[in-house]
């Protein structure tokens, strides 16, 4: 099963995250199937950058985002677009 989750990158006190489609059994920092976006929690604006077409692709194939990402997608207004397209 494929999950859409965060993969930590960046400096020790300045974390950034990649949004990746990855097998459920893989470790957090393992190579993902595809990078579909970025999440920068320390930025004041534009914290979330997502390729919505690729997100739709993975969701249509059964991939499930983690609870944290689902919440971030809802706040950014991306999750509503994905749900209406499915």
Give the other-Cβ count within 10 Å of 26's Cβ. 16
Residue range 50-77, pLDDT digits in tens: 998 999 999 998 899 999 999 988 888 8
Partners of 17 in beta bridges: 8, 39
Q: Is 8 helix (H, G, I), strand (E, B) or coil?
A: strand
**What's the pLDDT band for 85 if we cut at 50, 70, 90?**
low
CA 30 to chain centre: 15
Give the other-Cβ count within 10 Å of 16's Cβ. 16
**What's the pLDDT band for 44 if we cut at 50, 70, 90?**
confident
User: Is the domain defined by 2-85 classed in CATH 3.60.20.10?
Assistant: no
């Amino acid at each position: 099963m494929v999950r859409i989750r965060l993969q930590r990158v960046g400096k020790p006190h300045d974390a950034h995250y990649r949004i990746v489609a990855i097998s459920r059994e893989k470790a957090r920092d393992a190579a993902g199937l595809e990078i579909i976006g970025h999440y920068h929690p320390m930025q004041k604006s534009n914290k979330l950058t997502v390729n919505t077409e690729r997100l739709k692709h993975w969701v249509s194939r059964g991939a499930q985002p983690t609870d944290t990402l689902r919440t971030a997608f809802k706040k950014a207004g991306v999750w509503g677009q994905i749900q209406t397209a499915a």
